[in-house]
A and B are shown apart, each in its own frame.
Chain A
């Protein structure tokens, strides 16, 4: 188990290098002069040259990359071309918003998706069709569109939830959660659908197994069969779908944060794209990759905890 985690962590190092390198190489292809961009068209050639020298722009791209990389090890991701603030500072402000969204959405999808999946596996028929329809809707409706509709309905028309804005958890847990209800719903539709579908098929699969018959033949209650044995064994494939959803919802924050004007990393990345602010994009890419790695690690650990064959290996 520990070995598995260590191996995973080792494998994530090349991943981080690849992602940062790709973004960097792409960045070095940008036409135009970043120093000129920063200083504006009115800057004197001398000032531009000085800044170029300061930013190391005259060096070849690999030298620049190593410079950037050594900065990463010192907790320095450069400064935003647009605001002039250190990227690390900006990201530290933005990270909690995106993490709140992703973790709440994942939790919500887990509870509702597994609940729906279990119910439709046991009751079948009508609920099964509900899950099917829901999963079609979850696949078809683009999350930014769902987000806009949710805003229209619940924020503009009914005025039960705020349309925009974010309150930090530490300031007010109540307003934190109220502000996140609609964005989390918009993020979760697809996740609920896929998790419910996976849960249903996994539970049905387990209920057909011999050991379920053994327990039934021994007079063990149907509740125990379902909630203990079926759910426990079904949770192994479901765990990987939950991990996939967490990663997908991280990507989707880029769209949803924009609709709800949440000051997270996704909206930051969008703004940076419009501003040609590469250091910020590079920083967001690094953080996103780390989150993906952490999620995958969590899924691996969950596997280990749920599946004794992995744990005892």
Chain B
């Protein structure tokens, strides 16, 4: 039947992950309702069939001529067949035969597969190659036909057939065990065991095998499900023990001959096979989920904690609604190209939402380059993506507005969003190599972008014209041999070239604003400079405004006119670029600048900001940076800190800006 399905599935990465000790696996099964139900069902069926001679209400072969083809009744709980034999008794006796066959196959499977799998994984080298080659061949053998041959030769001996079935099925499990051993043997505690002087066999049995047991149980339970299908199938064909002895498959066969007069007989026989197969299969699924979840327990805990913290997060967001900067940033600025007001983004479902971007407001004017700066986890990328409405399924905008040239765009339906994506606002991603579809050529992908822009403007561009435009775009981003590159696939070009192609795709629709999310982070230093040069020349030539998301002050200094500094979901400072470098007015900006390698003083150690960005659930009510700030006082944590206007077109989310000013200048500037 579907032996190949099973082996492939459980050989896959899902089962190959972290194993678990057998006790842990059983515990995991007992904890889930499905696992528990399957286990209880299987236990009942196995025990009942094993003690059939004692509990069966009737002799399975006795023909009660007064009760032929009866439905379920008090004397015969599942009715009788066309020869007046009790169906329940026949199922119990037949189960011993069918499940016995499964047991035979599973035992053979384990005896063969576990040692060979361990050997292949642990010995490696030539042994591994030979075993792997044999497995490759064995996996292509047509199983059922071989079983038929075995049944011919051994005169319908089902035990022989199931032994051979276990033997043939072992190739899949050998792969699984081998894969697990390969991953486990690299781990430190295995080295430690080796150092202590344990032999390979001891290490295998004591350390490697327990870790692999989860994957083995998954494979075995699915294999058991398939064995039962095969065993009953062969019995159905009448190839096993001859009638009148009861077998599950044979009972389906008997029922099939009388479907016109007594269709009920198909139900108990087919039902018990289906439910038993299902129980084996589901048990495998439960163990697989449990073993793969184990590896993620840490993340699970985080998620839970984050949920608990969510309610606490709502408060500060609400409290800062009336920002002191309202004067500076009152309502969407229709003169700006992009005007973002009070943007708030949350992750997770309604009842467990966590705010990750809080009340963010800024403007971007035509042709200017604005840097959005901050450490990882500060919410820069989420802010940038929510402008385009490209948050993943988990995230959504819960408040605020995003307007483009005076038109609100944040609440638009997906179809309407397409009207500005690419043609008004375009995106360049962080990882150029994964930003291009690996299955299509560079030229095809650019041409598709060109044609879909045209379609949005109700114009039609022929394939040839789109193709020509694609080559022009490749030329525009300074890639040599554009014709050749157009015919290449993403994996055939370098990272720098891929980022140029991504930029080409972004400028294909002549956008007014380019959002560049860490466009140089994944690239070599020399390539970084080239990409920045390219961005600068595009900005100069086409008058494109750029929102540059980065953690690199060097890039900001190189390209930007203004900087927005973000920390833990909030904008903490906004200012003209020169003034930020001269005089940062938020302790975080100051610390971040000091920690920048570009501005380090030679010979002195690079100062780092102690601690790390708090996770959204850990945000305090007051200043988010207080825990890491050297100027922090009790006041900082007492209430949410609003963005305060400091001097000309400058704002800082800090109540101690005076301490950052040089002596004598602080009072007049700050008050104005």
A: residues with CB less than 8 A from B are 11-12, 14-15, 18-19, 22-23, 26-27, 29-31, 136, 139-145, 148-149, 151-152, 156, 190, 194, 208-211, 213-222, 224, 228-229, 232-233, 240-241, 244-245, 247-248, 250-252, 254-255, 258-259, 269-270, 272-274, 276-278, 281-282, 284-285, 288-289, 291-293, 296, 306-309, 312
| CB atoms of A285 and B429 under 8 A apart | no
| CB atoms of A151 and B140 under 8 A apart | no
Query: Which residues of chain B from 426 to 444 have a CB within 8 Å of any chain A CB?
Result: 426-427, 429, 431, 434-441
| Distance of A197 Cα from B229 Cα, bound (Å) | 21
| Distance of A35 Cα from B270 Cα, bound (Å) | 41
| CB atoms of A233 and B437 under 8 A apart | yes
Chain B nearest Cβ from A198, distance in angstroms: 9
Closest to A212 in B: B437
| CB atoms of B136 and A11 under 8 A apart | yes
| Distance of A216 Cα from B414 Cα, bound (Å) | 10
| CB atoms of B229 and A142 under 8 A apart | yes
| CB atoms of A254 and B144 under 8 A apart | yes
| CB atoms of B452 and A30 under 8 A apart | no
Summarize B's interface: helix, strand, loop or mixed: helix
| Distance of A248 Cα from B226 Cα, bound (Å) | 11
14 additional A-B pairs beyond A208-B392, A211-B436, beta carbons within 8 Å, are A22-B146, A136-B282, A142-B1, A217-B426, A219-B452, A233-B439, A248-B3, A254-B237, A273-B148, A273-B151, A284-B148, A289-B142, A293-B140, A309-B438
What are 26 of the A-B contact pairs (CB < 8 Å)? A19-B141, A26-B150, A136-B278, A140-B277, A141-B270, A141-B274, A142-B1, A144-B233, A145-B252, A145-B266, A148-B252, A190-B2, A211-B435, A214-B502, A217-B388, A217-B426, A218-B453, A219-B456, A221-B455, A229-B440, A233-B439, A269-B144, A273-B151, A274-B238, A285-B146, A309-B489
| Distance of A92 Cα from B152 Cα, bound (Å) | 22
| CB atoms of A240 and B8 under 8 A apart | yes
Chain A residues with CB under 8 A of B489: 308-309, 312
Cβ of B153 < 8 Å from any Cβ of A?
yes
Chain B residues with CB under 8 A of A255: 1, 233, 236-237
Q: Top 7 closest A-B pairs, CB basis? A: A219-B422, A217-B427, A288-B142, A140-B278, A218-B422, A219-B421, A248-B2
Chain B residues with CB under 8 A of A144: 233, 236-237, 249, 252
| CB atoms of B137 and A14 under 8 A apart | yes
| CB atoms of B5 and A27 under 8 A apart | no
Query: Which residues of chain B from 238 to 266 have a CB within 8 Å of any chain A CB?
Result: 238-239, 249, 252, 255-256, 259-260, 263, 266
| CB atoms of A221 and B418 under 8 A apart | yes
Q: Which of B208-216, B505-513, B585-593, B639-647 forms part of the interface with chain A?
A: B505-513
| CB atoms of B252 and A221 under 8 A apart | no
| Distance of A41 Cα from B225 Cα, bound (Å) | 43
Closest to A32 in B: B155
Cβ of B91 < 8 Å from any Cβ of A?
no
| CB atoms of A251 and B259 under 8 A apart | no
Chain B nearest Cβ from A231, distance in angstroms: 10
Cβ of B633 < 8 Å from any Cβ of A?
no
Contact of B439 among A18, A156, A308 (CB under 8 A): A308
Chain B nearest Cβ from A244, distance in angstroms: 5
Assuming A219-B452, A285-B146, is B277 touching A139 (CB within 8 A)?
yes
Closest to B425 in A: A217
| Distance of A285 Cα from B153 Cα, bound (Å) | 14
Chain A nearest Cβ from B329, distance in angstroms: 26
Chain A nearest Cβ from B519, distance in angstroms: 13
| Distance of A293 Cα from B140 Cα, bound (Å) | 7
| CB atoms of B152 and A30 under 8 A apart | yes
Closest to B14 in A: A201
Cβ of B449 < 8 Å from any Cβ of A?
yes
Assuming A214-B429, A217-B427, A289-B141, is B5 touching A142 (CB within 8 A)?
no
Closest to A292 in B: B140
Contact of B142 among A19, A140, A306 (CB under 8 A): A19
Cβ of B145 < 8 Å from any Cβ of A?
yes
| Distance of A251 Cα from B147 Cα, bound (Å) | 11
Chain A nearest Cβ from B280, distance in angstroms: 9
Contact of A219 among B1, B260, B436, B453 (CB under 8 A): B453
Assuming A219-B421, A250-B142, A289-B142, is B4 touching A213 (CB within 8 A)?
no
| CB atoms of A148 and B452 under 8 A apart | no
Cβ of B448 < 8 Å from any Cβ of A?
yes
| CB atoms of B5 and A145 under 8 A apart | no
Cβ of B492 < 8 Å from any Cβ of A?
yes
| CB atoms of B390 and A219 under 8 A apart | no
Chain B nearest Cβ from A229, distance in angstroms: 5
Interface string of B74-113 (1 = CB under 8 A from A): 0000000000000000000000000000000000000000
| Distance of A251 Cα from B434 Cα, bound (Å) | 40
Chain B residues with CB under 8 A of A218: 421-422, 426-427, 449, 452-453, 505-506, 508-509
Contact of B259 among A152, A211, A308 (CB under 8 A): A152
Closest to B392 in A: A208
Chain A nearest Cβ from B110, distance in angstroms: 22
Cβ of B149 < 8 Å from any Cβ of A?
yes
Contact of A251 among B142, B505, B508 (CB under 8 A): B142
Contact of A140 among B136, B275, B388, B438 (CB under 8 A): B275
| CB atoms of A139 and B278 under 8 A apart | yes
Chain B residues with CB under 8 A of A291: 142
| Distance of A208 Cα from B440 Cα, bound (Å) | 18
Cβ of B423 < 8 Å from any Cβ of A?
yes
Closest to A208 in B: B392
Chain B nearest Cβ from A132, distance in angstroms: 10
Cβ of B356 < 8 Å from any Cβ of A?
no
Chain B residues with CB under 8 A of A26: 149-150, 153
Cβ of B354 < 8 Å from any Cβ of A?
no
